[in-house]
Amino acid sequence: VAAKRLTTASRWRECWAGYEANATYCELKKLHSGMPRDIFEGVMDRLHDALRDERSWLKHVVARAEFVVKYNSTLSLFLQHIHDTVAKLGLEDEPGAVPTPRQSFFASLLDEATVPPSVVEWFQGAHARELERYQRMESERIKKVEAFEEMLMEYYFRSDHLTTSWDQARVEVQHRSAYRALDDGAEVAFQQYMQKLQKKMESLTKSRKTVDATEQPPATDEARPTSRSTSRSNKKKKRDDRSRSEEDRKRSKKSSSKKSAKKKHKRSRSPP
């Protein structure tokens, strides 16, 4: 029991095979074939009695501390919530040389490391049920909200609808089943829908601006005087450069011709 190999869920038919190699089990079986099982059943009875007492004490603690298990509760938060209550209950019993089972149980709840398995099992079961209930209700709520938003799309779908107040909308939709299904949550769902509609309208406006910018016609000649002037200037510069190059070539050619003529004249005047 101390090693937690035996729990209230243990059964003799599941455990006896593991005891056959145990020397004590073999000696007891020699004395009486049914003695090992009788001892086992006696231990299990005490475990069940202790579990019943622990559940009773735990129920008293939870009621006294007014704790309610929620879908997002944790064991640590639970122990923090009941800490002061448990400390007070532990002081209600008269102190003795040896703590009573009740006092020991309350003391074990003051530290998460010493929490009895029965308490952990109770909390996990209660939390699982509450989480399942919450998820089921949340799923149903989401379906109702989606149906309500689909209904709102019939009434409000343009940018000029964004100024519609909840009081105005309620008058228009209060006869619809989707509105009645949400009850108190209809106003919140309406505000969320209008926020989505606003974002949608802003996105459409941005997309239209982008399309308009890409579809603008090219600039006309009148709108590009600087570009044209620059082009003419460049062309003129190129023509001037070509003219100067041609003049340089002509001067160079003329100079070469004069030098050649001088050389011929010198050769003709030199004596034979």
Q: Is residue 23 part of a domain?
A: yes
Position 271 scores a pLDDT of: 47
- Do 111 and 159 share a domain, yes or no? no
- Do 125 and 19 share a domain, yes or no? yes
- Do 46 and 123 share a domain, yes or no? yes
Residue 55 CB contacts under 8 Å (≥ 6 apart), including other chains:
118, 122
- Do 157 and 98 share a domain, yes or no? no
Q: pLDDT per position in the chain (272 positions), as tens? A: 555 666 666 666 666 666 666 777 677 777 767 777 777 778 888 888 988 999 999 999 999 999 999 999 999 999 999 999 999 988 877 776 688 899 999 999 999 999 999 999 999 999 999 999 999 999 999 999 999 999 999 999 999 999 999 999 999 999 999 999 998 899 999 999 999 999 999 999 898 888 877 776 655 555 455 555 555 556 555 565 565 556 656 665 555 555 555 555 444 544 44
- Do 85 and 168 share a domain, yes or no? no
Six-digit token string for 185: 């949550």
Q: Is residue 82 part of a domain?
A: yes
Position 246 scores a pLDDT of: 60
Count up the domains in the chain and report the number: 2
- Do 120 and 169 share a domain, yes or no? no
- Do 41 and 72 share a domain, yes or no? yes
- Do 41 and 109 share a domain, yes or no? yes
Containing structural domain, residue 93: 12-130
Residue 182 CB contacts under 8 Å (≥ 6 apart), including other chains:
144, 145, 148, 189
Position 190 scores a pLDDT of: 97
Q: Is residue 174 part of a domain?
A: yes
Position 24 scores a pLDDT of: 77
Contact 176, 151 (CB under 8 A): yes
Domain stop point among 99, 130, 161:
130
Q: Is residue 2 part of a domain?
A: no
Distance of CA 123 to the CA centre of its chain: 26
- Do 165 and 196 share a domain, yes or no? yes
Position 232 scores a pLDDT of: 58
Is residue 31 helix, strand or coil?
helix
CA dist., res. 251 & res. 248, Å (int): 5
Where does the chain have alpha helices with state H? 12-15, 23-31, 35-65, 75-92, 101-108, 117-152, 166-173, 177-182, 186-214, 225-269
Q: Is residue 99 part of a domain?
A: yes
Position 255 scores a pLDDT of: 58
Contact 208, 187 (CB under 8 A): no
How much is the pTM? Answer: 0.62
Q: Is residue 202 part of a domain?
A: yes
Q: Is residue 73 part of a domain?
A: yes
- Do 162 and 125 share a domain, yes or no? no
- Do 66 and 166 share a domain, yes or no? no
- Do 125 and 175 share a domain, yes or no? no
Contact 88, 65 (CB under 8 A): no
